[in-house]
Chains A and B, each alone.
Chain A
């Protein structure tokens, strides 16, 4: 068994064509992505998309059916979980209930046969790093959820791993605390420069923490990009609807011009997009646009849709309008509230002007063309 030397600096991780199945059914297929040394990447997707399977394969807790995982210069195929030199924070932290905080943090050090004196120093260092100095003799159940999470992080990094894996690390925490701990984790990650992969189903969490997102759906990678690019230029309809809020309208490509495309909507009306789309005339498509790309107008104009207002809610600085399109499709618009903004009456008939330059068009999917 080869033992990978533990180093302080993070290593590059590359996952190549990873495939695994449970009982004949593919849980993940052909998953490939890279994480640069010191980078923090989020594996994001709805529950059941296979992201935990990827994480467990990297940690060595399952043997994937096919594919390669390379950490630094080492192929991890023949390396057991205990020899991979990876730190992992489990979903419910998995802190050993019979060991104190200090003993929990010292656990990986004891496994690495670190001398007792050095171990004590390292535990103190970790405790102050996660701001839990003086808590060493507590038992995990005597700590709050946020403190337990920090102990779990401390245990994961105590052994100076070259890669840190986090499985829904903020899932069990309440919202207010979550943000603080995310900031703290980011700070810690920057300080240590450790390569980090975080698995989450919470898009806000992923966007606030990660440099890049790996979006997964049904066992496949849908897009790998920065949080901004994923929001602004989604590759697929799934990514578009999963990240942020979006309006989806079914339509058909009616006319292709060199610099424009006319899409007739199945609910009536049409939109002219200011670019030539890569579709043939007659293709069924889904047109998507964000709530902030919709502006309400009293008069019809170019690229406007007749809608009626269901409800308008002032949410802090923004005003959110729930609208109904002619065919019953719900639309959402949002605008920044100013001193002169008036709230439209429920049921009033208005025109939604769509910023077509920022709208996206995807091939129609059965579940979208409602």
Chain B
């Protein structure tokens, strides 16, 4: 406790101040500047518009939909990992990491092919007689959620795997001997014990989804507008940087509030300790 580690942090601290804290402060400062002078005008204008409101809500909805779908897919994969032997575990980790190792642009363009009118999904549905005509999932929220889910899946699987590897199998055995069936074990033992990992994953997925401009723009198209596109419009088309800053701060705050809320949940006395 005597020898302080502070000197070793100085390089990182300087970098952070110069390239993260300062630009962020500038951004926040910018958001208060407008033609009417300094104040909350930009915020008032942004939040006063019903359309912007809807975009904000849609962005949150997109995040939540991605959270739900990644959870539904990620939990079974993490449990499979938990039950697997050494080799199978390595394969699962590798397959999980692939989306993270691919460029965002490549991933997004791959999804254009998959979701398109001549893509495998459409063709399969037509071939099975589930759809009358070829259809496209491009520019739909469903298509966007599917792509987002694949891209963000590692963000939920990795924290889950980390937490599961610290849970001994004896907990499920104890539940089994107590008379619990598989579903009861999942709901009353495994999921509660995995909750700290889920919360961490949910924060990552939400933050990633709500800010993934490229995927939103390319797959969501012009029909599905989310907050990052609004910012882009202000910056690139309307050249209203103070307005863009204000929107960015709103996005930052709304994600931040969610983050704080989830962190507070994970501080619950039942979750601390084994997390």
Contacts and interface: CB of A to CB of B under 8 A. Distances in A.
Interface of A: 59-61, 81-88, 90-92, 94-99, 107-108, 110-112, 139, 141, 155, 159
Contact of B274 (A87, A98, A111): A98
Contacts of A61: 173, 176-177
A136 B176 CA distance: 22
Interface in B219-275: 269-271, 273-274
Nearest to A165: B177
Contacts of B173: 59, 61, 81, 90, 94
Contacts of B171: 94, 96
Contacts of B105: none
A90 B174 contact: yes
B189 interface: yes
Contacts, number: 77
Given A94-B171, A96-B189, A111-B184, A139 B270 contact: yes
A111 B180 contact: yes
B273 A97 contact: yes
A60 B193 CA distance: 24
B179 A112 contact: yes
A209 to B, nearest CB: 21
Nearest to B274: A97
A86 B177 CA distance: 7
B180 A98 contact: no
Nearest to B182: A82
A123 B168 CA distance: 26
A83 B178 CA distance: 9
Interface in B139-181: 168, 170-171, 173-181
Given A59-B177, A155-B174, 8 more contacts: A59-B173, A90-B170, A92-B168, A96-B192, A111-B175, A112-B179, A139-B269, A139-B270
A147 to B, nearest CB: 16
Interface string B186-218: 001100110100000000000000000000000
Contact of B178 (A60, A97, A108): A108
A160 B271 CA distance: 30
A108 B175 CA distance: 8
B194 to A, nearest CB: 10
Across the A-B interface, the 3 shortest Cβ-Cβ residue pairs: A111-B179, A108-B178, A94-B174
Given A139-B269, A159-B179, A98 B174 contact: no
A84 B270 CA distance: 30
Interface of B: 168, 170-171, 173-181, 184, 188-189, 192-193, 195, 269-271, 273-274
Q: Which of A90, A108, A111, A112 lies at the interface centre, i.e. has the most chain B CB atoms within 10 A of its CB?
A: A111
Contacts of A92: 168, 170
B219 to A, nearest CB: 38
Contacts of A88: 174, 177
A139 B189 contact: no
B172 to A, nearest CB: 9
B167 to A, nearest CB: 9
Nearest to B172: A94
B170 A155 contact: no
A95 B192 CA distance: 13
Given A94-B168, A94-B171, A98-B192, A82 B274 contact: no
Contacts of B181: 82, 111
A159 B177 CA distance: 10
B177 A82 contact: yes
Given A139-B269, A139-B270, A111 B174 contact: no
A82 B174 contact: no
Contacts of A95: 174
Contacts of A110: 188
A159 B176 CA distance: 13
Nearest to B177: A88
A111 B187 CA distance: 12
Q: Which of A84, A95, A107 lies at the interface centre, i.e. has the most chain B CB atoms within 10 A of its CB?
A: A107
A251 to B, nearest CB: 47
Contacts of B174: 88, 90, 94-96, 155
Contacts of B184: 111
14 contacts: A81-B176, A82-B176, A88-B177, A94-B171, A94-B173, A96-B175, A96-B188, A96-B192, A97-B273, A99-B192, A108-B178, A108-B179, A112-B179, A159-B179
A87 B168 contact: no
B177 to A, nearest CB: 5
Q: Which of A85, A88, A94, A110 lies at the interface centre, i.e. has the most chain B CB atoms within 10 A of its CB?
A: A94
A98 B178 CA distance: 16
A121 B180 CA distance: 21
A60 B174 CA distance: 11
Contacts of B188: 96, 107, 110
Nearest to A92: B170
Contacts of B192: 96, 98-99
B271 A98 contact: yes
B182 to A, nearest CB: 9
Given A81-B177, A98-B192, A141 B168 contact: no
